[in-house]
Amino acid sequence: GIQVEQSPPDLILQEGANSTLRCNFSDSVNNLQWFHQNPWGQLINLFYIPSGTKQNGRLSATTVATERYSLLYISSSQTTDSGVYFCAVGIIGSEIQGAQKLVFGQGTRLTINP
């Protein structure tokens, strides 16, 4: 099956720093999503980005589908940015109905210290 690799696994930064998180995937995908999981377990949608570049405030993301990777940029980090960041790729899970499923990477655990 498809492999989704995220790096780095852990990242510790001071408040105000910038960071880049990477997601590599081993095969063509239908879509790609970035999530932030907060300490209570809620998965928060950051970007739906099968290709191209998007920006939302201090966060931006770029997916280069032909080279099978995506990057998430966080600028001017705040302590509330702490948590686990997941990349998830969408693939066809059922040929009969074309139903899609998300396959998650292992995540990057980000800690922002004050």
Instruction: Residue 86: name the closest of 15, 22, 13 by CA.
Output: 22
Cα 72 to Cα 32, 35, 97, distances in angstroms: 12, 10, 32
Q: Which residues contact 83 (CB under 8 A, 6 or more apart)?
A: 36, 37, 38, 39, 109, 110
Q: Which is closer to other proteins, CB of 75 or CB of 104?
A: 104
Q: Which is closer to other proteins, CB of 17 or CB of 59?
A: 59
Instruction: Find tokens 């302590």 and name the residue.
Output: 79
Q: Does 33 bind other proteins (CB under 8 A)?
A: yes
Contact with other proteins (CB under 8 A) among 28, 42, 55, 76: 42
Q: Which is closer to other proteins, CB of 3 or CB of 18?
A: 3
How many residues lie near other proteins (CB under 8 A)? 28
Residues 61-100 that bind other proteins (CB under 8 A): 86, 88, 90, 93-94, 96-100
Count CB neighbours of 20 within 10 A: 13
Which spans of this chain sit near other proteins (rule: CB under 8 A)? Answer: 30-31, 33, 35, 40-43, 45, 48, 50, 86, 88, 90, 93-94, 96-107
